[in-house]
């Protein structure tokens, strides 16, 4: 059995699970860098029976799945992966298994970005190293309004931290009710009001056809000139061109962004020239604790499948 692990950017997969438990005769290959376009991916992966992929780093559309004649099992870290064509896998009889996740690291990163922006941490840290002292004023969070686009598991955790800072927390999502918001100690408002009145806006929705582009030019245009925008969810939720325009023209105060339409971020990306931003390379789930669960569960997925009882199966909608 030939097994490949993809996109192990940090080179940690081999150490975070006991791969010696694989069936006798198995071979394990780890790819640490992106493989390239679909032709390159198909050529590199054609020999493998089992693939372990990291979240949505490498897409698996029907066209690629059809070019992998030896593929018998596909494992993704996490419990969902929108970059896999599950129907195409089902049509080929290829089971797709997921893994668990632990904690709420994305909620923690959200607050890292909010604090970095509000307290000017990257800017002042760079200035200090360059010999300058106190180059600007930071802002308080207490008494300000935090607007959450999405109040699910992660949004609710972000809300609780905002409340601990003394912020007024409001929320909107397509399905959010007044009762559900009240249960979280949050006030539900309409989307336009959230963007127009919040001092910090943070996005916490699952990307779907219904939510794609849910934050558009109208919403971004309604924001205060001092407001901060944070996205640790998915790039497709936001009109990137509208957000870049607002930032480059000083229409909003700044943005903390962890997710991008093209990842890894190209060297010529417009994002890299925007000074009023804090950018991170999709770190929301990239913790040692999470990765340990990812790879240990992936190993369990392989062993369960070889035993004829696959676990954590993902099914087409």
**Domains of the chain by range and CATH?**
2-101+287-306 (3.40.50.720), 105-279 (3.40.50.720)
Band of pLDDT at residue 103, cut at 50, 70 and 90? confident
In the chain, % of residues over pLDDT 90? 99
d(CA 276, CA 254): 5
Exposure pattern of 247-270 as b/e (b: 16+ CB <10 Å)?
beeebbbbbbbbbbeeeeeeeeee
Which two structure tokens, joined as six digits, stand for 8?
């192990």
**What pLDDT score was predicted for residue 275?**
86
Say if residues 145 and 197 touch (Cβ distance below 8 Å). yes
Is-contact 68 46, C-beta < 8 A? yes
* Residue 295: both structure tokens together: 């790879």
Query: What is the tens place of the pLDDT at every residue in 293-309?
Result: 999 999 999 999 999 99
pLDDT tens by residue, 135-160: 999 999 999 999 999 999 999 999 99
Percent helix, strand, coil in the chain, to 5, is 35, 15, 50
234 is catalytic: yes
Query: Of the listed 46, 125, 263, 289, which one is catalytic?
Result: 263
Is residue 249 part of the annotated active site? The answer reads: no
Give bridge partners of residue 147 from the DSSP assignment. Answer: 170, 201
For the question of residue 282 being annotated catalytic, the response is: yes
Give the chain's length: 317
- The answer to whether 167 and 188 are in contact (CB under 8 A) is no
Q: Which entry of 55, 57, 120, 282 is annotated as an active-site residue?
A: 282
Nearest-CA neighbor of 159 among 194, 134, 121, 193? Answer: 194
**Which of 83, 14, 125 shows the shortest CA–CA distance to 314?**
83
**Among 55, 120, 145, 234, the one annotated catalytic:** 234
């Amino acid at each position: 059995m030939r097994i490949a692990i993809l996109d192990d950017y940090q080179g940690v997969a081999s150490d975070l699970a006991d791969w010696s438990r694989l069936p006798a005769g198995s071979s394990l290959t780890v790819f640490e860098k992106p493989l390239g376009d679909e032709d390159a991916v198909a050529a590199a992966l054609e020999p493998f029976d089992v693939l372990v992929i990291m979240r949505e780093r490498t897409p698996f559309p029907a066209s690629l799945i059809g070019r992998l004649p030896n593929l018998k099992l596909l494992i993704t870290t996490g419990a969902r992966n929108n970059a896999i064509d599950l129907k195409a896998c089902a049509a080929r009889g290829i089971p797709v298994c997921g893994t668990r996740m632990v904690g709420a690291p994305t909620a923690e990163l959200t607050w890292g970005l909010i604090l970095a922006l509000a307290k000017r941490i990257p800017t002042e840290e760079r200035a200090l190293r360059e010999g300058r002292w106190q180059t600007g004023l930071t802002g308080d969070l207490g008494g300000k309004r935090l607007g959450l686009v999405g109040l699910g598991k992660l949004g609710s955790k972000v809300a609780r931290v905002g409340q601990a800072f003394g912020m007024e927390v409001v929320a909107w999502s397509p399905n959010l009710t007044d009762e559900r918001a009240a249960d979280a100690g949050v006030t539900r408002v309409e989307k336009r009001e959230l963007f127009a009145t919040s001092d910090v806006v943070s996005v916490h929705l699952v990307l779907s056809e219904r939510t794609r582009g849910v934050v558009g030019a109208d919403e971004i245009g309604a924001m205060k000139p001092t407001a901060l925008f944070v996205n640790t969810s998915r790039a497709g939720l936001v009109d990137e061109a509208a957000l870049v325009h607002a930032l480059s023209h000083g229409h909003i105060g700044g943005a903390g962004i962890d997710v991008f339409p093209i990842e890894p971020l190209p060297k010529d990306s417009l994002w890299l020239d925007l000074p009023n931003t804090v950018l991170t390379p999709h770190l929301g789930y990239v913790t040692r604790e999470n990765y340990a669960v990812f790879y240990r569960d992936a190993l369990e997925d392989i062993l369960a499948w070889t035993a004829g009882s696959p676990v954590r199966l993902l099914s087409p909608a």
